[in-house]
Amino acid sequence: MLVEIRGSEVRITADSGTQTRLIMKRRNFLKTTTSFAATATAAVPQFTNAAKSDVEIIDIHQHVNFHGRTNEVLVKHQDTMGVSKTVLLPSGGQFNLSSTNNGRANGLAARVFGTEAAIRLTKLHPGKFVYFCNQVPDLDSTKADLEKWLKSGAKGIGEQKFKLELDSKPMQLIYEIAAEFEVPVLLHFQHKSYNMGFDRLPSMLKNYPKTTFVGHAQTMWGNIDANHKQEVMYPKTKVKPGGLTDRYLADYENFYGDLSAGSGQNSLTRDEEHAAGFLERHQDKLCLGTDCADKTGEGKGCSGAGTISIVKRLLEGNDAATAKIMHGNARRIIDFD
């Protein structure tokens, strides 16, 4: 293993037949190595409702007022799933613009509240939650709004879910801000709806090498398949390896995947033989997220609990890969301090 410190970044190259290179912010390096050491030596994982799981779980994708769910129910929901820490992803402001699909995408099209609501809930439960910040990208105030929240404690930007080309000028502003503050940006990719132009994403990954991009949603997870038809949101066919997502995760150090929602779960269940290999192949680039709006946190009605169970089953016997996806990778790209 080779560890190189370059300015504000730490690069790790590990040779296991093929070269795997990881990149993290220097300020997170010591914290991350300490975290992994603690995980390896602790007799009992330190997180809420430890009896539900044998590995710490960090959920990088939840929302305040998701389809009207109350904060009290959200807290219980996360406890029931055995989650230790949750990233709250707020909506942007309420605007009637083409980028918000004439207002239909306000609240992330799911009645989700904005950054201030995420801040309030985090202050009530500082050990359980951290928050990202969000704003509609094509406002005159976007830069000032995001910078204000990032300076006050936001750990990232997102969920960016707006009807814009992913390489448009407003979106590039988002990537610039994320790079400046050394925080990730989480993007909802959905063909002809949000962050369009998934096939052009490599140009942004190359142009903004200091920005950590986290991909999510239907177009992200449909494209694990080299034969994916972009208009199909939840494909059920067997997967041919080598799709766009497969290649981006392998080829770009600054691109990660958020396994949340029905789209993430579908990528695991449509072809489980492929999914097991995919999880092992990209174990250093995938993060557990739930993005479920149910009130129970368990059973068939909770897709998040289902995804947790599926990942554990597909990686049974590979404790190291399971730990990376359940919490390790999240700690590497998000500052939870």
- Please state the domain extents for the chain: 1-43, 52-333
pLDDT at 54: 85
Distance CA 230, CA 245 (A): 12
pTM to 2 decimals?
0.86
226 close to 242: Cβ distance less than 8 angstroms: yes
Alpha-helical runs (H) found in 182-217: 201-207
| The Cα angle at residue 76 between residues 72 and 82, in degrees rounded to 5 | 150
pLDDT at 25: 54
Instruction: Tell me the HSE value of 155 on the side-chain side, using a 13 A CA sphere.
Output: 22
pLDDT per position in the chain (337 positions), as tens? Answer: 444 444 444 444 444 333 444 545 544 544 444 444 444 433 333 333 333 568 999 999 999 999 999 999 999 999 999 999 999 999 999 999 999 999 999 999 999 999 999 999 999 999 999 999 999 999 999 999 999 999 999 999 999 999 999 999 999 999 999 999 999 999 999 999 999 999 999 999 999 999 999 999 999 999 999 999 999 999 999 999 999 999 999 999 999 999 999 999 999 999 999 999 999 999 999 999 999 999 999 999 999 999 999 999 999 999 999 999 999 999 999 999 8
Distance CA 178, CA 27 (A): 15
Distance CA 293, CA 298 (A): 12
Strand 9-15 versus strand 19-25 pairing type: antiparallel
Report which of 184, 183, 117 is spatially closest to residue 151, judged by C-alpha positions.
Answer: 183
Distance CA 165, CA 2 (A): 38
pLDDT at 337: 84
Q: If phi over 0 gives left and psi between -120 and 50 gives alpha, with beta otherwise, what is residue 242?
A: left
CATH architecture observed for domain 52-333: Alpha-Beta Barrel (3.20)
pLDDT at 47: 33
Which residues are paired to 257 by β-bridges? 215, 286
Q: What is the largest CA-CA distance in the chain?
A: 53
Distance CA 315, CA 279 (A): 8
pLDDT at 43: 32
Strands of the 286-287 sheet, one edge to the other: 157-160, 184-188, 212-216, 255-258, 286-287
